[in-house]
């Protein structure tokens, strides 16, 4: 896997990717877009477009780090504020992380966002840091041999996620594989904020996310489900 020099940025949204307050090399949109397509999961194809995620090792501020590069082409969404303007769905994820990262530690670290000329290329990418030392909640549930351990992970996850709901915001895709836990320090992180939206109330945000979470079968008992509700706003 090739090593690329890469500098952190507050927000990158032009064809030329210019690091924020940095003298490191700037990359063009094409240089980042054309990194190897070593997909970590099947490419998502819908509505005439596609999106995919690849993992890369890069250099940030002189240190090697693992990143995830999310690329998409021809996948758009209209915002509630402007029904006439379509933006790449990753733009909405970038905006959600920008808003949330100063209000809660839950979002994954965002390193860069890039958007091609919408009229010509209709491409966008989002770069996030790999969650080294974190394990997805679905894997923790599957590996755990004791109900006590499962309850601990669920309590930890949903008490942290309640911070998001108190802001009146629903994650929108709150599945167990989007929830990550660091077992060394009990830190919780969330990924995939594309469907993140403000709801009418904190309670509505929690109910919406619960409807998504319980849509999948993780083999949880009724007692486990009670742990989730008790750890959340809905207790």
| pLDDT at residue 12, rounded to an integer | 40
Last residue of a domain, one of 65, 94, 129: 129
Same domain (yes/no): 95, 198: no
Provide the residue-wise pLDDT of the chain in tens; the chain has 235 residues. Answer: 234 444 444 334 333 343 334 445 556 778 888 889 999 999 999 878 899 999 988 877 777 888 999 999 988 887 766 666 778 899 999 999 999 999 999 999 998 888 886 555 588 999 999 999 999 999 999 999 899 999 999 999 999 999 999 999 999 999 999 999 999 999 999 999 999 999 999 999 999 999 999 999 999 999 999 999 999 876 6
Listed residue (12, 40, 120, 38) closest to 73, CA to CA: 120
Describe the crossing of helices 147-166 and 202-213 by its angle, rounded to 10 degrees: 140
Alpha helices in the chain (DSSP H): 29-33, 89-100, 137-143, 147-166, 202-213, 222-231
pTM of the model: 0.86
d(CA 33, CA 233): 41
Instruction: Give the residue numbers spanning the domain of 109.
Output: 3-129
| pLDDT at residue 80, rounded to an integer | 67
Same domain (yes/no): 114, 174: no
List C-alpha distances in Å: 153 to 47, 108, 110, 206, 225.
37, 18, 25, 18, 12
Same domain (yes/no): 121, 142: no
| pLDDT at residue 234, rounded to an integer | 67
| pLDDT at residue 5, rounded to an integer | 46
Same domain (yes/no): 147, 122: no
Listed residue (87, 88, 133) closest to 108, CA to CA: 133
| pLDDT at residue 178, rounded to an integer | 97
State the sign of the Cα–Cα–Cα–Cα dihedral 223, 224, 226, 230.
positive
- The total domain count for the chain is 2
Same domain (yes/no): 22, 99: yes
Listed residue (152, 136, 226) closest to 189, CA to CA: 136
Please count the other Cβ atoms lying within 10 Å of the Cβ belonging to residue 186. Answer: 12
Query: Do residues 40 and 57 lie in contact, with contact meaning Cβ atoms separated by under 8 Å?
Result: no
Same domain (yes/no): 144, 68: no
Last residue of a domain, one of 129, 152, 186: 129
Same domain (yes/no): 85, 172: no
Last residue of a domain, one of 98, 129, 160: 129
């Amino acid at each position: 896997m090739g090593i690329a020099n890469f500098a952190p940025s507050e927000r990158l949204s032009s064809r030329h990717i210019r690091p924020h307050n940095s003298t490191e090399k700037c990359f063009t949109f094409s240089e980042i877009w054309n990194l190897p397509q070593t997909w970590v999961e099947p490419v998502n194809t819908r509505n005439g477009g596609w999106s995919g995620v690849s993992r890369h090792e890069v250099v940030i501020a002189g240190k090697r780090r693992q990143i995830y590069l999310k690329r998409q082409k021809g996948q758009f969404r209209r915002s509630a504020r402007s029904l006439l303007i379509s933006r790449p769905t990753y733009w909405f994820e970038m905006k959600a992380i920008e808003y949330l990262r100063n209000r809660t530690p839950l979002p994954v670290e965002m390193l860069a966002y890039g958007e091609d000329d919408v009229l010509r290329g209709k491409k966008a990418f989002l770069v996030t840091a790999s969650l080294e030392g974190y394990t997805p909640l679905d894997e923790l549930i599957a590996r755990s041999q004791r109900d006590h351990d499962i309850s601990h992970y669920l309590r930890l996850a949903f008490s942290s996620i309640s911070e998001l709901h108190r802001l009146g915001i629903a994650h929108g895709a709150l599945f167990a594989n989007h929830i990550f836990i660091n077992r060394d320090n009990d830190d919780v992180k969330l990924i995939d904020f594309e469907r993140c939206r403000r709801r009418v109330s904190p309670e509505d945000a929690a109910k919406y996310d619960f409807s998504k979470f319980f849509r999948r079968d993780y083999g949880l008992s009724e007692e486990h489900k009670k742990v989730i509700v008790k750890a959340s706003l809905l207790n």
